[in-house]
Every structure is written in structure tokens, then in C-alpha cells.
Chains A and B, each alone.
Chain A
Amino acid sequence: MPDVVEQIRNVCALGALQSVTAIERAIPIIHAGPGCGQKLWSALSSGNGFQGSGYAGGHSVPCSNSTENEIVFGGEDKLRETIENSLKVMDGDLFVVLTGCTADIVGDDTADVVRQFKNSGVPIVHVETGGFKGNNYFGHELLWEAIIDQLLEDPEEIQPGLVNVWSVLPYQDPFWAATLETIGKLLGQIGLIPNLIYGQGQGIRSVRRIPAAQFNLLLTPWLGLKTVKLLEERFDTPYFQYSALPVGATETSRFLRAVAAYADIDTATVETVIEREEARYYYYMERAADLFFETRFKPGHFITIADSGFALGLSRFLVNDLGLIPEAQFVTDKVPDEHHERIEAEFNDVVAGIPSPVIFTTDGGTIRDVIRDLKFRERPLILGSTWDKVITGELQGYPLSISLPVSDRLVLNRTYAGYDGGLTLAEDIYTVILNSFQ
């Protein structure tokens, strides 16, 4: 199958500008053509859960708006001028210069331009994210490589219990903000101190204290692995990886036990938390049980179409907590080849022992063709993007948009992570089902 993409589900490396926007009071400065910022914001934010411009995003991102002149004669002067004036106009705690295709193809020496500002004490880093170099996951890892190399300093001391949380990709996952808050609360409940880095109330202080953490929690199957390894190399911070985003009781309890075991947290503390949370969870699930067992519209087999960590978490929830049967899981975050086997194994590692075929693709046409060839005896439940509502409609299935692009929902503080997240997902799924006939 040719490596072309219909119905994009991720963008180019410069998409990392949205990761900068996710850091409170951080300001991206892009050295790129005039349309890059608009297109990437449109895809990652406004067309994906309507996540907004934020503090300094959207059309307020400083940009060299490079044109012919910068291509022919080089864009270093234009970049210098843009940074200089950005510092006068924009009020920020951290400035990140990101380059686009134009600057990287013509070979502007961005490092040299930025160095002059850094030397004068400006909190500024630079990263070469020309779109042709890779996708936004790749760009995001480059961004962290840059921040680690150019900004972070050796800690005075390690803060016991402090955990850096490396999880969902901000903006790419429209639920990122509340997902991080939820992970933070869960870690707090078992006595850890989460450093969430992104979102409300974090900002430059959170970034600067990364080296002081006791360990890095990598809550994804592969994204961020480079980052935590780099932190290990540079600051000797160990990392603990848990691949699935925990959704619902089974997986969240399992996640808490795993983290606690790694961090040497007293079993009794963790079990107390789990018991309390599960009791509350099943108080609500018991209420839902009447509907689940007596509806005429119980969904048939389910399909997930999402980033690997999210797809994993969703499918485990649907199998383990809701008792549904998987049909196929599409993993759309262009997982590097070396991680495929391990991720496939994770999909088979479900408590109920029900395996599911996994298809790695970023191409919506491939997804559509595979789904069309599947045989469903009842209306399938398809958790995917707004693109996938068309094929879901053809199958008379139940669509719920949960991965980029989510353009049919406003996403604010919704998350499917944790105990409450499982309940929210159950609500959302059955809202779609019940709405389909009334």
C-alpha cells in the first residue's frame, strides 16, 4: 500500500508548536511560511474538540511568515527581527523557536540566531521541526530533546515522591488537559507528587523542576520513550512505563498497583484507595446495569481507531469493564516499527483473555476498506474520529468521536481516564446508542 494519507489523523513535525502552547505562558515563535501556524492550529486545536487558541496560540503565534525573499536570500535576518520584536511585544515565560519546511530546506542557521538571545539571558530554545522531517509525534520528541538540552539544569536535590507525567500528546488528544489532571489526582491519592508539565497551573516552574523528579512515569506505549531515556542519561532519573491509558476500574486499579509497586508505596495505602474508588465506581455501574442488560440496542462488536495508548486503554475498558467483544483495533499514531510487536502483545494482554486484531495505519482509506470487509451481525460500536462517522453510518453503527479529528464535539474538561473516565465513557456510548432511535 502506498504511503499516502487520506483523512489525516496527525500532522507534521511543526505540530509541536501546540505542545508549546500547552505549557502555560510559553510562547511559540515559528520561522515558517504564512500558513503553517493556521493549518496546524486548525487541525490540532480548533478542528479537534474546539480547544481554542489558549494564551498565545492560534493566530497570535509570532511567525516570520516567510516568503520568496527568505527562500532566496535566507531567512536568518527575518528570524532575528521576529524574535527581537516578539520579546518586546509578547509577554511569556518561555519562548520556543520552531522552524518549518522553508527554513529547514534552505538551511537557515536557527541555532546561531537563537544563541545570541539565549546568551543575553532570554529563556529561549529552538528546535528544527520542518514538516518533511516527520509527524507531530516526532516533532514533539524533538521539542523535548531541545528543552532538555538547552533549558534544563541539574537539580539541587531530588524531591522524593515527585513524578514527571509523560502521557497523552497535548492537543492531538483533545481530552489531554483533564486526562492529565486525572492522572495527577490518582498519583496524589497514593502519595506521589505529580508534575504534569502541561495545562492550567503548571508552566515554566513545572518544566524547570523536571530534573528534580524521583522518577519519570511514561504512560504511553512508545511516545516519549526517547524523552525519558534522555532524562535518564542526563539526570539519572529512572523511568517507569505503563503502556495503556487507564480507563475504568479494572485498568485504573491495575495501573495504581503497578506504579505503587515500582515506587515502593505501601500496599495497604494503595488497596485502601482502590477499594474506595471501586466501590464508588460500581455504585454507578450498578445503576447502568439495568440498561446494559435490558436494552434492545446493545452494541455489537466494537472497533477503536485512535493513538496506540488510547486505543489500548479504550479496548481494555470495553472488554474488561463493559464485557464487549473487540472486532479490530486501528492504531493511528504511526508507531515506529520496532514497537509494533510489543504493542500487539499489549492488546492481547487483557484480563478477560480476549484478543483483538491490531492494524497499524494512519490512512483513513485503509481503515474504511478494512471495516467494509468485516462482517457484523449487530450494529457495531465505532470509537474513532469524525471522519469515521461516514463508514459507521454505512454500517448503521454507533459512532463516538474520540480521536483527531473530533469536530462534532466540544471538549473541555472531559476525560475517559481513571475511574470517573470509565463512567463518562459509558455515559457517552449509551447516549449515542439511545439517541440513534429517539
Chain B
Amino acid sequence: MAINTRISEAPIRERRLNAITGYSGSVKDLAARTAPGCSITNRERSFSQTSSCSSGCAQTLLSGILDAAVVNHAPLGCLGDSLYQNIAHHYGQFHRNWAYSNVNMISTNMGESDTVFGGAERLRDGIREAYRRFSPKAIFVTTSCASGIIGDDVQGIIDELKDEIDIPVVPVHCEGFRTKVWATGFDAAFHAILTSIVKPPQKKRPERINIINFRGSARVYITELFGRIGLKPVFVVPFATVAELERMSEAAASLTICGTLGSYLGTALEEQYGVPYVKSSPPHGSAGMDSWLTGLGRAVGKELEVEQLISTEKKSVQDELAEVRAKLIGTTAVLGMGPGFSLSYIRVLDELGIKVLYGASWHYDQQYDHGAQPAITTELADRDLDIPFGVGEQQNYEIANLLHGLKPDLYISRHPGSSVWAAKQGIVTVPVMDEYTAFGYRGLVNFGWRIVDALTNRRFVNSLSQRVRLPYQDWWFEQNPYHFLAEEEAA
């Protein structure tokens, strides 16, 4: 189904992409049962731990736009994530050698009376203050559970300010209660950008490539790499300007570091402006990078150049890769990540000689916006080896149970608030905090050595686990990790 930018908000992933947050099975089972024409139903949980909501994902992208501002129409706590976003912002500035600044974000600070009389006045104040304080090129108004339930007409309030504020002021519908799939917030942000910022191309720029990513720590390497074949990456959305976003339609192709992140924007740019979206598996590890670069080459008609690039880059690390692989061979791991990473990191670990005992994914999109299954799913399912696989919105108690039963050498995770619990169980853990951690051939080798280091000195993990207790009853560890998942509804 094509992306519709005439409607006011992106439909949630549960409806648009058949996304699920409850599943237990295996990679092959998942691939087969979500193949074209098939779908599985979500299994609800009767016990859960706090996960994350879509507004966090929306705000993480929008707060990074250099000359825009975010007005969060909500009680104060909904901007709690702005602290983390500011840290990430500083991290990105550090990688660019830029001066240190803060994210431009304002909370309308909704209170009790607003839930009775409506929050229109506060929202007007918030927008006016954002305009006055930051002189932004665009303002994004993110919604909240409170503003959504009381039914504030955000678009209407914005419309009233049209004469006063001569820049795009755009609603971003990301009420936390709408969805269990926090990545829906990426789509909410992209929907706002697509409907109000992106302009039709004035001129096609054959050298320009949109890279849909987070903070872009690998930008120097990618710029150098692409430069060798005459291409110029533009990193979006964080650290881009509004003007750069306006011209995303002029690029020759779009790539993403994470299929979960890039699906909506990449697909919409392709459908609406003919910018090809590379639908390969993500560039994590060697096979991922092969697929990513090959997809790029095909999209821009540089197949031969890319082939050579791949061969040079691969060759430059092949000895180091063999060396680190020899050290890791036979190591066992469990991993837990968002779906843009979980499946492809199964392959990354495989390339490093590590045996994956279980893969957990924080949600799963049965198809992407372009209509097909994620490429990585079919690629993994085509291998001989099947891998047990489960889906849950970062449910730490399930992971703790899995780790207790499987006793892997390693737990590899992505998302804050996850790794530490494995460490408390005495399991060496390596987080994938930066989106470019095992990026391509070089990233794979570096990641391998990071794991070797972690396994070489287990002192901290061992000492910690001997002294702290997990907050779970013994009973829990005697149950199946997916004990609280409802039975699957018969199809």
C-alpha cells in the first residue's frame, strides 16, 4: 500500500505493517508464516514491563534537526527523553568537531486545568515562545497521551497562528497510547517532514545520496568511501538543516542504516519523487554491506564501481577478520535488539564465528512500507541453520529467563536499559549503542575485537553478579520465558 501524505498522520505500524510485539518461534517459522499473502497475529502479554513510546522516537529525530524546534504539547514528563536527546546531540557534535549547543525543545507543561478546559492557550504560548527563542525554520508540535485523550485540535490551533508565524508549524501525532511499537514515532516524524518540509525537486542531483540514520558517527568514513565512486552522502534527519530536508527529493537514492528507521521516509521519497530506496538488508557486517552497496550501485547505475569498492574494502580487512574470528569461534550468544538490527546482527555474529542461541526482537514488521518482507528475513531463512527467535517490546524479565536457561557466553543488545541486566546475571554483555557499531567490513572487525576484549576480562561482570540480586522470584526462572504470552489465535 502506497504511503499517503494527504492524511494527517501515519497509520500505526500494527495496521500499516502488521507489526507485532508478541511472538515466539524461529527465524524460518517467522519467514514462512509472514511470506507474501500470509500473516501472523500478535500474541498479547498478561504481564509486561515498561517499554517505550512513539513520542520518544519522533522527538529523537526531530530534536536533531539543526534549525528546527520541537514543541511538546504535554505534561513535563513527556519531555523526559530530551535529556537523553541532548546527550546524543552532544555526541553528534563531538563527532563533527562542532561547538556545543542544546536541543531546541519546549514543553507546554500541561496541567490539570488544561485537561478540563483544553490546552489551546498553552500550545499557542509554546509555539510563540519557540519562534521567539530559537528563530527556527520549522516548528514540530509533538502530541502526547494527555493532549490526545482530551482532544486538543492541534492542527486548528496551528492554523490560527498562520499570519503570525511565517514558517512551517507541523503537528506530529505520536500519542504514546496509540501503539506498542515505538518505531511508529519515526513514521510520525517522517510524515510531518514529508507533508510540510520536503519540496518537489528543482533539479536532480545524481551524486547525492540520502543516508537515513541517527547521529551519523561514521559520516567521515562514508563520505570518503562514497567519494571514491563520485557520490556525496547527506545524513538525515538529525544534524541536517531544514533546507537539506527540503531537497531530499533531489537525491539519486536513499539508503538507511536501519530498516525500521528508514522504511517510511525511504519508501515515500521513492513513490512520490522517484528517489530509489535501497531495500537491501542493512549494512551490518560483511554480507550486509555487500547487499547495501550492491543495492546502491544498482540504484545509481554504478554496479562496476561498487563491485570494485567492495572488493578493495573486503580485502583490506580479510586478515584481521580471520584473526578475530579464530578467537571467537565457538562462542555462544543471545541477542536482543530492535528488528532493524536483531536479524542482521544474527548474521554479524555468525560472520565472527559466534553461535547465536536465540534472537529477540523488540518488535517485528511483517512487511515494510514498500510491501515486501524485510530482505534480511528471507536471507536468514534461506540458510540451512534455523535460529530460535522471539518478539517482545524489550521485556527484561523474558530476556533474564532466556539467559538463565541458555547460559550463553555473551548477550548482545541494543537500547538503553537492557545490557546491564545480563551483566547482573554474570553474562558478558556488549551493547550496540552506536548505529554504526558493526558497520560494514571494518566495523565488523572492530566489533569482533570489542567482543574479544569483553570476554577476555570478565572480572567486573563476575564480581557484580555475585553481589547483586535480580528482582525476580525463583518461580519465574522455572517458567517458559514466554509464559505470559497469550495463545495464538487460530488463523
Given contacts A4-B129, A39-B78, contact A91 B472 (CB under 8 A): yes
- Tell which of B316-324, B339-347, B412-420 binds the partner: B412-420
User: In the complex, which residues 95-144 of chain B have their Cβ closer than 8 Å to any Cβ of chain A?
Assistant: 99-102, 105-112, 114-115, 122, 125-126, 128-129, 133, 144
Q: Is B218 an interface residue (CB 8 A)?
A: no
Give chain A nearest CB distance to B115 CB in angstroms. 5
User: In the complex, which residues 405-426 of chain A have their Cβ closer than 8 Å to any Cβ of chain B?
Assistant: 405, 407
Would you give the 0/1 interface string for A7-50, flagging 1 where the beta carbon is closer than 8 Å to chain B?
Answer: 11011111100000000000100101111111111111011100
The answer on a CB contact under 8 Å between A4 and B150 is no
Given contacts A39-B80, A43-B80, contact A132 B115 (CB under 8 A): yes
Given the complex, which residues of A lie within 8 Å of B292, measured CB to CB?
Answer: none
Q: Is A179 an interface residue (CB 8 A)?
A: no
The answer on a CB contact under 8 Å between B129 and A365 is yes
Given the complex, which residues of A lie within 8 Å of B297, measured CB to CB?
Answer: none
Q: Is A231 an interface residue (CB 8 A)?
A: no
User: In the complex, which residues 392-414 of chain B have their Cβ closer than 8 Å to any Cβ of chain A?
Assistant: 393-394, 396-397
Give chain A nearest CB distance to B21 CB in angstroms. 9
The answer on a CB contact under 8 Å between B48 and A12 is no
- Tell which of B173-181, B196-204, B262-270, B429-437 binds the partner: B173-181
Q: State A102–B145 Cα separation when bound (angstroms).
A: 6
Q: Chain B residue with minimal CB distance to A43?
A: B80
Would you give the 0/1 interface string for B78-90, flagging 1 where the beta carbon is closer than 8 Å to chain A?
Answer: 1111111011000
Total A-B pairs, Cβ < 8 A: 249
The answer on a CB contact under 8 Å between B475 and A36 is no
The answer on a CB contact under 8 Å between B149 and A35 is no
Given the complex, which residues of B lie within 8 Å of A365, measured CB to CB?
Answer: 106, 129, 133
Given the complex, which residues of B lie within 8 Å of A41, measured CB to CB?
Answer: 50, 80, 417
Given the complex, which residues of A lie within 8 Å of B393, measured CB to CB?
Answer: 34, 65
The answer on a CB contact under 8 Å between B76 and A131 is yes
Q: Is B249 an interface residue (CB 8 A)?
A: no
Q: Is A90 an interface residue (CB 8 A)?
A: yes
Given contacts A11-B80, A34-B182, A66-B177, contact A133 B112 (CB under 8 A): yes
Given contacts A8-B82, A46-B417, contact A67 B397 (CB under 8 A): no
Given contacts A4-B109, A389-B100, contact A405 B115 (CB under 8 A): no
Q: Which of B87, B115, B126 contacts A4 (CB 8 A)?
A: B126
Given the complex, which residues of A lie within 8 Å of B416, measured CB to CB?
Answer: 42, 46, 58-59
Given the complex, which residues of B lie within 8 Å of A86, measured CB to CB?
Answer: 47
Question: Which among B75, B101, B393, B476 has the greatest number of chain A C-beta atoms within 10 A?
Answer: B75
Q: State A40–B105 Cα separation when bound (angstroms).
A: 17
The answer on a CB contact under 8 Å between B180 and A6 is no
User: In the complex, which residues 59-92 of chain B have their Cβ closer than 8 Å to any Cβ of chain A?
Assistant: 74-84, 86-87
Q: State A36–B79 Cα separation when bound (angstroms).
A: 10
The answer on a CB contact under 8 Å between B471 and A56 is yes
Q: Is A373 an interface residue (CB 8 A)?
A: no
Q: Which of B51, B108, B115 contacts A34 (CB 8 A)?
A: B51
Given the complex, which residues of B lie within 8 Å of A407, measured CB to CB?
Answer: 83, 86-87
Q: State A118–B84 Cα separation when bound (angstroms).
A: 37
The answer on a CB contact under 8 Å between B471 and A33 is no
The answer on a CB contact under 8 Å between B176 and A34 is yes
Q: Which of A3, A7, A61 contacts B102 (CB 8 A)?
A: A7
Q: State A4–B139 Cα separation when bound (angstroms).
A: 15
Give chain A nearest CB distance to B102 CB in angstroms. 5
User: In the complex, which residues 291-310 of chain B have their Cβ closer than 8 Å to any Cβ of chain A?
Assistant: none
The answer on a CB contact under 8 Å between A70 and B397 is no
Q: Is B466 an interface residue (CB 8 A)?
A: no
User: In the complex, which residues 365-416 of chain B have their Cβ closer than 8 Å to any Cβ of chain A?
Assistant: 393-394, 396-397, 416
Given the complex, which residues of A lie within 8 Å of B77, measured CB to CB?
Answer: 11-15, 36, 39-40, 43, 131, 136
Give chain B nearest CB distance to A391 CB in angstroms. 9
Q: Chain B residue with minimal CB distance to A6?
A: B106
Given the complex, which residues of A lie within 8 Å of B286, measured CB to CB?
Answer: none
Question: Which among A12, A64, A135, A390 has the greatest number of chain B C-beta atoms within 10 A?
Answer: A12
Given contacts A70-B177, A105-B146, contact A38 B105 (CB under 8 A): no
Q: State A365–B396 Cα separation when bound (angstroms).
A: 38
The answer on a CB contact under 8 Å between A35 and B421 is no
Q: Is A228 an interface residue (CB 8 A)?
A: no
Given contacts A35-B56, A56-B471, contact A62 B48 (CB under 8 A): yes
Q: Is A387 an interface residue (CB 8 A)?
A: yes
Q: Is A189 an interface residue (CB 8 A)?
A: no
Would you give the 0/1 interface string for B313-343, flagging 1 where the beta carbon is closer than 8 Å to chain A?
Answer: 0000000000000000000000000000000
Question: Which among A4, A14, A42 has the greatest number of chain B C-beta atoms within 10 A?
Answer: A4
Given contacts A8-B76, A62-B49, A85-B47, contact A100 B145 (CB under 8 A): yes
Q: Chain A residue with minimal CB distance to B53?
A: A35
Q: How many residues of B contact A (CB 8 A)?
A: 73
Q: State A66–B50 Cα separation when bound (angstroms).
A: 10
Given the complex, which residues of A lie within 8 Å of B81, measured CB to CB?
Answer: 35, 38-39, 42-43
Q: State A61–B87 Cα separation when bound (angstroms).
A: 24
Q: Is B469 an interface residue (CB 8 A)?
A: yes
Q: Is B311 an interface residue (CB 8 A)?
A: no
Q: Is B52 an interface residue (CB 8 A)?
A: yes
Given the complex, which residues of A lie within 8 Å of B361, measured CB to CB?
Answer: none
Q: Is A250 an interface residue (CB 8 A)?
A: no
Give chain A nearest CB distance to B479 CB in angstroms. 9
Given contacts A41-B417, A42-B84, A101-B145, contact A89 B472 (CB under 8 A): yes
Q: Chain A residue with minimal CB distance to B82?
A: A8
User: In the complex, which residues 1-52 of chain B have their Cβ closer than 8 Å to any Cβ of chain A?
Assistant: 46-52
Would you give the 0/1 interface string for A102-128, flagging 1 where the beta carbon is closer than 8 Å to chain B?
Answer: 100110000000000000000000000
Q: State A387–B418 Cα separation when bound (angstroms).
A: 27
Give chain B nearest CB distance to A256 CB in angstroms. 34
Question: Which among A8, A85, A134 has the greatest number of chain B C-beta atoms within 10 A?
Answer: A8
Q: Which of B86, B111, B126, B471 contacts A92 (CB 8 A)?
A: B471
Given the complex, which residues of A lie within 8 Å of B79, measured CB to CB?
Answer: 5, 8, 39
Q: State A100–B87 Cα separation when bound (angstroms).
A: 26
Question: Which among B51, B114, B178 has the greatest number of chain A C-beta atoms within 10 A?
Answer: B51
Question: Which among A7, A33, A37, A81 has the greatest number of chain B C-beta atoms within 10 A?
Answer: A33
The answer on a CB contact under 8 Å between A2 and B128 is yes
Q: State A6–B108 Cα separation when bound (angstroms).
A: 9
Q: Which of A39, A46, A133, A387 contacts B86 (CB 8 A)?
A: A387
Q: List 15 other contacts, CB 8 Å, given A3-B122, A36-B53, A386-B86.
A: A2-B129, A6-B106, A34-B50, A35-B51, A39-B81, A40-B80, A41-B417, A46-B417, A59-B396, A63-B50, A101-B144, A102-B177, A106-B149, A132-B111, A405-B86
Return the 4 tightest CB-CB contacts between A and B, nearest first.
A35-B53, A37-B50, A12-B77, A47-B83
B residues at A contact (CB < 8 Å): 46-56, 74-84, 86-87, 99-102, 105-112, 114-115, 122, 125-126, 128-129, 133, 144-146, 149-150, 176-180, 182, 393-394, 396-397, 416-418, 420-421, 468-473, 475-476, 484
What are 29 pairs between A and B in contact, CB < 8 Å?
A2-B129, A5-B76, A5-B107, A6-B105, A11-B76, A11-B77, A33-B176, A34-B50, A34-B393, A35-B53, A36-B50, A38-B52, A38-B53, A40-B77, A47-B87, A59-B50, A59-B396, A59-B418, A60-B421, A63-B50, A65-B50, A65-B180, A85-B46, A91-B471, A101-B144, A101-B149, A135-B76, A390-B100, A390-B102
